[in-house]
Amino acid sequence: MTNKEVVAAMYKEFFNDHDVNAALKYVREDYIQHNPGVTQGRAGLMEGFAKKFEVDPTFHLEIKMMIEDGDMIAVYLKNVDPEGNTKCRVVDIYRMEDGKLAEHWDVLQPC
């Protein structure tokens, strides 16, 4: 899989299908998280989003654009409700290593 394909699969399986175990395939165990609201490491990501999916069972992200530069992937996306209304806009930036997400930064724009 290309880096973009890995990121797209992660969004589909982990974030949109709410399968936190998908992180085992796509995220390094030593994942570095720069969002202070999410715990470090793959386990922290899985735990944090398992709770989020319980609180918000309709959580869904629509990828609008991906840009790749070397081992970096930038993703512009929208968090949408079941009717397709934008709840938040996001730019996620990932550093890839050995075909997996290794490091993450994000910027959020509430609507």
| Alpha carbons 34 and 23: distance in angstroms, whole number | 17
- pLDDT tens column, 21-65: 999 999 999 999 999 889 999 999 999 999 999 999 999 999 999
| Alpha carbons 103 and 51: distance in angstroms, whole number | 21
Task: Please give the structure tokens belonging to residue 84.
Answer: 């397709």
Q: Is the pTM of this model over 0.85?
A: yes
CATH number at residue 52: 3.10.450.50
> How high is the pLDDT of residue 110?
84
| Alpha carbons 15 and 27: distance in angstroms, whole number | 13
Tell me the CA end-to-end span of the chain in Å, nearest whole number.
34
Percent of all residues in the chain with a pLDDT value above 90, rounded to a whole number? 96
Please give the residue range of the domain that contains residue 59: 3-110
Domain count along the chain? 1
Residue 34 Cα to chain centre, angstroms: 13
> How high is the pLDDT of residue 70?
96
Query: Per-residue pLDDT for 111 more than 90?
Result: no
> How high is the pLDDT of residue 61?
97
Phi/psi for 105 (5° steps) reads: -130, 155
| Alpha carbons 17 and 68: distance in angstroms, whole number | 24
